[in-house]
Amino acid sequence: MCFRVGKTHKPAVLPGFTAQFHSSIVPGTPSQILRPEAFKIRPTWTKQQYQPGYPNTVKMAPKKTVRPAAENISLGPQIREGELVFGVARIFASFNDTFVHITDLSGRETICRVTGGMKVKADRDESSPYAAMLAAQDVAARCKEVGITALHIKIRATGGNGTKTPGPGAQSALRALARSGMKIGRIEDVTPTPSDSTRRKGGRRGRRL
């Protein structure tokens, strides 16, 4: 049995099979008769697909693995609930900037230090109460991370032969620490007051405005 090229007959192929054509033409005939061996029939499925009931095979749900709960890692000391852990907040408030510096009780280890100049862009706003409030809020958040729940406050002005009055950011920083949930211990003024000092600038007649 032969197939002619001139007609558009397609060989009957069973479902799931494909017919691959090989060009084996019988020479010497005007109609170029093809031999039936020119078509090789082979299956189209793969090994993975050859399963009973494919493609309606039901896949089992993956096994549920019990993951251990994430432990809350505390950076600070181990404390009981309700116990206060104290640090020291050293607030240096001048008329140019405000420093909020948190240390441990010994003062040897710095936990966090933020200044008003780190929170605002304009130089004239570095000593403002708003910049001091933002700095104190950042400091309070860091204290909670390490487990400090209460603070002793030490406020300092420039001192020496300069002004003994704290700048405008001292009161704002103290209020922000209290409103952030930190317990306040004692409040001290540690402005250095000299018993004698170097000559103050401004000359004999004083600073003229």
- Which pLDDT does position 172 carry in this prediction? 96
Amino acid 53: pLDDT? 57
**pLDDT value at residue 66:** 73
Task: Considering the chain, tell me which residue range(s) the CATH 3.30.420.80 domain(s) occupy.
Answer: 86-189
Q: Summarize pLDDT for 20-58 with one digit per residue, the tens.
A: 555 444 555 544 455 555 555 555 555 555 555 555 555
**Predicted pLDDT of residue 15:** 55
Question: Residue ranges of the chain with pLDDT lower than 50?
Answer: 3, 23-25, 30-32
pLDDT at res. 46? 59
Q: Residue 63 and residue 61: Cα distance in Å, rounded?
A: 6
158, 161, 164, 167 alpha-carbon torsion, rounded to 10°: -40
- The secondary structure element, H or E, covering residue 143 is helix 129-146
Which residues have C-beta within 8 Å of that of residue 101, sequence separation ≥ 6?
A: 89, 90, 91, 92, 110, 112, 113
Task: Quote the pLDDT of residue 106.
Answer: 93
Beta strands in 97-136 (DSSP E): 98-103, 110-115
In angstroms, rounded to a whole number, what is the distance separating the alpha carbons of residues 119 and 40? 79
pTM of the model as a whole? 0.62
Q: What is the pLDDT of residue 70?
A: 64
The architecture that CATH gives domain 86-189 is 2-Layer Sandwich (3.30)
